[in-house]
Amino acid sequence: MGPESLPMTITIGKMTAIVVVDVQIDFCPGGALPVPEGDKVVPTLNEYIKQFAAAGAPIIFTRDWHPTDHSSFKSQGGPWPPHCVQNTEGAKFHPSLIIPPDAQIVSKAEHRDEAYSFFQGTNLAEKLHKQIKTLFVGGLATDYCVKETVLDALKENFEVYLLEDACRGVEVNPGDSEMAIRMMVAKGAKRITLDKIQGAQIITAPTRPTRTSSHVRNRK
């Protein structure tokens, strides 16, 4: 067996977290700002989530959580229609998405300023670094919030895996998603798919609770 055929080894445990980005009703077909086939990421993400839950690894969900006058809305001079407004149906997570009871939910863009990444305007990088070294990132949308989350994580010196089969892009311009993936990889992200996780030698490690901040809320 040559080196190229050896199974990869992935450590999932106290220093590894999965970040599920913005899989909300408004970003899925029928929502206010639908990502084409955005709902198709849910079954694959659920399989990743099961793997991390079984290992006792941290699971983080981010969500857009906008006020009614958010700066990104067209009514305020921004590029997007109103979406993911706080406490509305469209801001809820996709109903089929598995959210474990101990998962952490991070709200972003809670005020008027835009925040595509959950690192923007927070001290989450500092807090996560106390426990986490590696992030696995997937969700919506590849060419916006996933991209910015991955790039910010790399800037903060996390090792980052892009869950390539668990992302979909807005594609305002054809090719935006592939361009975003190339940019993430060029900056140091590693592409991975579920079959690689399922076929890997998983090394699990015990976890300890992650500290929370005003930006991090457990599921209600």
Show me where the domains of the chain are located: 15-218
How would DSSP label each residue in 98-156? Answer: ---TT-EEEEE--SSS--SSTTTTS-HHHHHHTT--EEEEEEE-IIIIIHHHHHHHHHT
Q: What's the confidence (pLDDT) of residue 199?
A: 66
Residue 191's contacts (CB-CB under 8 Å, 6 or more residues apart) are 161, 162, 164, 181, 185
CA 31 to CA 14: how far, in whole Å? Answer: 35
SS3 39: helix
The catalytic residues are 22, 108, 145
Q: What is the pLDDT of residue 196?
A: 85
List, as one string, the DSSP characters of 144-194.
IIIHHHHHHHHHTT-EEEEEEEEEE---SSTTHHHHHHHHHHHHT-EEE-H
Tracing tokens 């594609």 back to the chain, one arrives at: 171
Cβ contact 161:136 at 8 Å: yes
Q: Which two tokens mark 118?
A: 């959950």
Residue ranges in the chain modelled with pLDDT below 50: 1-6, 207-220
Residue entry with tokens 């793997």: 51
pLDDT, residue 4, reads 40
The two structure tokens encoding residue 196: 């690689």
pLDDT computed for residue 73 by the predictor: 96
Report pLDDT digits (tens) over 52-93: 998 899 999 999 999 999 999 999 999 999 999 999 999 999
Selection from 162, 118, 158, 156 nearest residue 136 by Cα: 162
Q: What is the pLDDT of residue 21?
A: 98
| Angstrom distance (rounded) from CA 148 to CA 121 | 13
Sign for the pseudo-dihedral over CA of 209, 210, 214, 219 = negative
- 51 CB burial (10 A radius; 0-12, 13-18, 19+): buried
What's the pTM value of the predicted model, to 2 decimals?
0.88
- Confidence at residue 208, expressed as pLDDT on a 0 to 100 scale: 41
| CATH architecture for residues 15-218 | 3-Layer(aba) Sandwich (3.40)
